């Protein structure tokens, strides 16, 4: 019954209203003109059935709305209502499903951001404590035993303090860059032309000779050209660093389009990323390189999220590592 009402709500509503109206009219007619109680009772039963039908029809959208509100209150984001082509109930069902999808997406993003900033806070606390500790120790020692510090030793202490302060400054600059990604100023980009510009920018970079750029001639992308350039340069530099000392090193940046969705991949044939590190590579300040800042991939992820897309990575040790940028459909 419920599925039938969902598919043909308007017909059920009109049918139930006409049935109630006809049954009520028949009762009045029989009671006034015939006085036959048997027919009146029979008509009353028909009226009761019609009213029950009408109540089920009227109650259906209220029940759907109650399920919808309970799903929002209980954060049950798996609920989906069966779509309907009915002119009355159909648009409402579509809107409720759309709201649930948006709510799920928003909740997912909020959960991701919570984990992201929790990680940031832990890293910041760790880095700042490690950097400040030597400063506190040195200054405390100078204050307690000033007579032991001649000019040379004082200069040595100030040098250490300055280096630690520079470290804090560099760390905070990286943090500012990660947390202040500008709003993308998207425009239609001819990818082959953008790749040509990228090649010119990387001409003097280490590893330029191993770089290959491929894009369909007419392929277009809707993105911020400056942020796209920043991402690709970071990915190419990361790949070049991983290929140091490798024979027949290659980096390929390739653009493609599948089902209207644009992709850009950056692939290298380096040693790869160990499986136990793959789940951490997009975490801020996490780096597999000895002196890496750990912000390149985290920044790329932030930029792709700002574009409404995403970035993923796959790696096969000593075969290839690929970073895939997936953008939204062309507008």
What are 266-306's pLDDT values in tens digits? 999 888 888 888 888 887 776 666 555 567 888 888 889 88
- For the stretch 106-112, contacts whose Cβ atoms lie closer than 8 Å and that sit 24 or more positions apart, written own/partner, are 107/75, 107/77, 109/305
C-alpha to C-alpha distance for 9 and 2, rounded to whole angstroms: 9
In the DSSP assignment, the letter for residue 225 is H
C-alpha to C-alpha distance for 111 and 119, rounded to whole angstroms: 12
Q: Which residue has the higher pLDDT, 67 or 191?
A: 191
Q: Which residue has the tokens 């599925």?
A: 3
C-alpha to C-alpha distance for 47 and 44, rounded to whole angstroms: 5
Which element (helix H / strand E) includes 255? Answer: strand 251-258
Is the model's pLDDT at 198 over the cut of 80?
yes
What are 86-95's pLDDT values in tens digits? 777 778 878 8
pTM value surpassing 0.85? no
Reported residue count of the chain is 331
Nearest Cα to 201, choosing from 217, 178, 225, 221? 225
Cα angle 70, 73, 74 (rounded to 5 degrees) comes to 80
Q: What are phi and psi of 294, to 5 degrees?
A: 75, 20
Burial class (CB in 10 A: 0-12, 13-18, 19+), 40: middle
Average pLDDT value for residue range 62-76: 77
Query: What is the β-pairing status of strands 220-223 and 261-268?
Result: unpaired
What are 131-186's pLDDT values in tens digits? 888 888 888 888 888 888 888 888 888 888 888 888 888 777 777 777 777 888 98
Nearest Cα to 63, choosing from 89, 98, 102? 89
Which pLDDT band holds residue 31 (cuts at 50, 70, 90)? low
C-alpha to C-alpha distance for 291 and 61, rounded to whole angstroms: 61
């Amino acid at each position: 019954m419920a599925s039938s009402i969902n598919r043909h709500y308007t017909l059920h509503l009109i049918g139930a209203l006409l049935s109630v109206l006809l049954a009520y009219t028949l009762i009045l007619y029989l009671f006034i003109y015939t006085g036959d109680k048997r027919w009146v009772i029979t008509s009353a039963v028909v009226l009761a059935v019609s009213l029950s039908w009408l109540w089920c029809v009227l109650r259906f959208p209220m029940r759907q709305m109650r399920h919808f509100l309970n799903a929002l209150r209980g954060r049950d984001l798996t609920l989906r209502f069966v779509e309907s082509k009915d002119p009355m109930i159909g648009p409402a069902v579509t809107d409720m499903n759309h709201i649930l999808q948006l709510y799920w997406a928003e909740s997912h993003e909020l959960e991701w951001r919570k984990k992201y900033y929790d990680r940031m806070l832990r890293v910041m606390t760790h880095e700042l404590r490690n950097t400040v500790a030597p400063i506190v120790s040195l200054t405390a020692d100078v204050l307690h035993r000033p007579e032991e510090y001649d000019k040379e030793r004082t200069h040595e202490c100030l040098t250490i303090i300055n280096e630690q302060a520079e470290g804090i400054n560099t760390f905070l600059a990286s943090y500012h860059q990660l947390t202040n990604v500008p709003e993308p100023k998207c425009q239609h980009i001819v990818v082959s032309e953008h790749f040509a510009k990228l090649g010119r920018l990387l001409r003097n970079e280490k590893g330029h000779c191993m770089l290959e750029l491929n894009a369909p001639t007419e392929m277009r992308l809707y993105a911020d050209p400056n942020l796209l350039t920043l991402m690709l340069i970071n990915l190419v530099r990361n790949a070049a660093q991983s290929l140091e000392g490798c024979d027949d090193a290659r980096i390929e940046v390739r653009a493609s389009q599948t089902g209207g969705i644009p992709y850009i991949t950056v692939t290298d044939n380096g040693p790869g990323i160990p499986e136990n590190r793959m789940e951490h590579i997009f975490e801020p300040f996490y780096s597999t390189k000895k002196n890496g800042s750990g912000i390149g991939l985290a920044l790329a992820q932030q930029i792709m999220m700002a574009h409404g897309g995403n970035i993923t990575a796959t790696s096969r040790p000593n075969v290839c590592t690929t970073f895939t940028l997936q953008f939204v459909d062309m507008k």
